[in-house]
Amino acid sequence: MAAFPDAMDSDESAISLVRAPGRVNLIGDHTDYNDGLVLPAAIGLDTWIAVRRRRDGLVRVESLQSGERTEFWIDELDAGPAGPAGPAGGIVRTPRTGWGDHVAGMAWSLREAALPVRGFDGVVDSAVPRDAGLAWAAALELASARALLAGERPVAAPSLAALAQRAERDYLGVEGGIVDQFASAAGRAGRAILLDCRSLESRYVALPAGVSIVVCDTGASADPGEHAAVFRERRAECGRAVALLAEEMPAVASLRDLDAATLLRNRHLLSETEARRAEHVVSENERVVAAVAALDAGDLDELGRLFAASHESLRTLYEVSSRALDAMVALARAVPGVVAARMTGAGFGGCTVNLVRDAAVPAFERAIVTKYPRRTGLTPRVYVVSTVDGAGPA
């Protein structure tokens, strides 16, 4: 492996290739960290690692895209508190955000779970856009897990996803849900995944024949610090809503425990902002269930209505859409043959997900690449994606 020609502790003859896919969330955004329901699909935008296993615990990896390298000893990794002391004397955790931290975090999490990990020299290539909200980080983490384990012991996809989420939470200091890691680990070709983010129960849902998934990247850049701050604010607002509701209803442990009628009866307990955030989460969970029913029944008209309602809820109740996302969705809905369109992911830029009849895909692509720049001044990227199996050998 040319990137590390001095790898004296490597087995030159044993080079393998592992992969893990990105994901798109068809419906169910900002429900995952509220113990809710999501409907993601693993997509054919992959991260690959060419792996030469080592006889020791050293990991050395290079990215073909950025030229970044990371090098560490697995036994020396420490997830200890990172950051300065806070005003009350506690530690304010500073997230680790480097490219190599995702590889190191995965190694740390697998080691802490007493799994048989070994070092490797590796080169990473990826088709997952880094800032588009298509689970770039999860794909790198799951591919790294496959490289570190290298078939030593099979690990079930839900367990591997939970270990990747632990790497983000406890090593990287990033508080997110499990949807990205689960979809990348457990994806199946031709299927979406209905996932209960509390129990991790899941089932595969068939996607309609003759319809393509088309992901449109708005090309809008968001300030990472501002984006993270808004994300923390939304989580806090949901947490405050749960705390206030639990004073009257002790059985409420998360917004997942509410239905629309119960929230409406108790809305007076919340501020207007907290009520809007809770209303989005509660209604979005219901839309996920309804979307699965529509897919099972082949009811594409209902699916389009649910996508539209989801986008409007994210725009007005959760307030995480943007001018670019709204413009992209409006343009998509005007194209004949588009079944459904909505923003997907965290928001503030990122991507839309569109279900488009196969015959209409070329016209859809032309409409986006010609009309969207005129409306927004931004350059879009359009990905016609297939649904694929989860992480494993390439």
For the question of residue 180 being annotated catalytic, the response is yes
252 CB-side CA count, 13 A = 21
Sort strands 37-54 and 69-73 into parallel, antiparallel or unpaired.
unpaired
CA angle 289, 134, 301 (to 5 degrees): 35
- Rounded to 5 degrees, what are φ and ψ at 20? -150, 140
The per-residue DSSP string of 113-173 comes to TT-----EEEEEEE-S-TTSSS-HHHHHHHHHHHHHHTTSS---HHHHHHHHHHIIIIII-
Sort strands 211-217 and 351-357 into parallel, antiparallel or unpaired.
antiparallel
Out of 180, 217, 326, 389, which one is annotated catalytic? 180
Q: Which long-range contacts (CB under 8 A, 24 or more apart) does 296-301 make?
A: 296/205, 296/206, 298/208, 300/208, 300/211, 300/339, 300/340, 300/355
Residue type, 380: P
- Cα separation, 84 vs 74, in Å, equals 25
Q: Scan for tokens 């697998």, then name that residue.
A: 110
What are the DSSP E strand ranges found in the chain?
10-27, 37-54, 58-63, 69-73, 120-126, 191-196, 202-206, 211-217, 338-344, 351-357, 381-385, 392-393
Cβ–Cβ < 8 Å for 311, 347: no
Cβ–Cβ < 8 Å for 128, 157: no
- Cα separation, 69 vs 101, in Å, equals 11
**Which residues form the catalytic set?**
180
